[in-house]
């Protein structure tokens, strides 16, 4: 009996090699959403509210709305972009899960 060839999963190499993937807790889907929203470097997140970034990302990628931890992960990314000497406790996703609520869409 012949095996059916399995399709290869598409890999987003641009998102994987983006500066956002150096941030703790970052997912490839979020990095792709940030790239699609026009962000290219992590410092561009500095000073921005995660709610505004989420709304920009959802305009281009509505599928991100199903991600339950999108807001805490973006808040962590913004903290990493802003902090010159980040506190170790704030580099963990659990800190932001308790602090940031999912926006109502």
Q: What is the pTM of this model?
A: 0.83
Question: Can you give the pLDDT at residue 100?
Answer: 84
Structure tokens that stand for 40 in this block = 């290219």
pLDDT > 70? residue 2: no
pLDDT tens string 10-58: 888 999 999 999 999 899 999 999 999 999 999 999 999 999 999 999 9
pLDDT tens string 44-103: 999 999 999 999 999 998 999 999 999 999 999 999 999 999 999 999 999 999 888 654
Exposure on the CB side of residue 64, measured as CA atoms within 13 A: 25
């Amino acid at each position: 009996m012949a095996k059916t060839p399995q399709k290869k999963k598409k890999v987003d190499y641009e998102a994987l090699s983006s500066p956002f993937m150096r941030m703790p807790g970052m997912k490839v889907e979020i990095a792709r959403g940030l790239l699609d929203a026009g962000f290219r470097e992590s410092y561009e997140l500095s000073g921005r509210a995660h709610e505004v970034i989420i709304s920009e990302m959802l305009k281009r990628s509505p599928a991100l709305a199903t991600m339950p931890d999108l807001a805490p992960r973006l808040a962590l990314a913004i903290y990493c972009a802003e902090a010159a000497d980040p506190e170790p406790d704030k580099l963990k996703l659990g800190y932001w899960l308790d602090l940031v609520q999912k926006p109502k869409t």
